[in-house]
């Protein structure tokens, strides 16, 4: 797993040496308590056979970050079809688009929306 800081955002990137699904989520959760005041991006785009269950493993962190911390939470899914995912989990096909979503959500929060 790679952890990178970008201004007010922390990016957790899965790589091929990492376990998938619950184990990767637990690795992220272990780091989460140290950076919970940040926007979070979970980059799963390197998983070749990404499935909705991989994304749904992060729904608890997603809910906490949005409702308790009032920060953004975006999952990068690459080319996976997001039609099978619930609408409350914000996804993006690329890391750049995840940063764009966070920037727009920051503006919305600043304006009180």
Per residue in 30-54, pLDDT (tens digit) is: 888 788 789 999 999 998 888 898 8
- Spatial distance between the Cα atoms of 108 and 92, rounded to a whole number of angstroms: 18
Which residue segments constitute the domains of the chain, with CATH numbers given?
A: 2-111 (3.30.750.24)
Residue 18 gets which letter from DSSP?
S
The Cβ-side half-sphere exposure at 79, using a 13 Å CA radius, reads: 3
- Spatial distance between the Cα atoms of 11 and 95, rounded to a whole number of angstroms: 9
Residue 58 gets which letter from DSSP?
T
Mean pLDDT, residues 66-72 taken together: 88
């Amino acid at each position: 797993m790679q952890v990178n800081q970008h201004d007010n955002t922390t990016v957790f990137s899965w790589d091929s040496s990492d376990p998938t699904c619950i184990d990767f989520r637990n690795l992220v959760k272990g780091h989460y308590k140290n950076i919970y005041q940040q926007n979070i991006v979970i980059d799963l785009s390197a998983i070749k056979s990404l499935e909705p269950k991989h994304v749904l493993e992060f729904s608890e962190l997603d809910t906490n970050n949005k409702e308790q911390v009032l920060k953004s939470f975006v999952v990068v899914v690459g080319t996976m079809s997001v039609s099978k995912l619930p609408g409350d989990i914000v996804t993006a096909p690329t890391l750049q688009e995840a940063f764009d979503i966070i920037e727009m959500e920051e503006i919305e929060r600043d304006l009180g929306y």
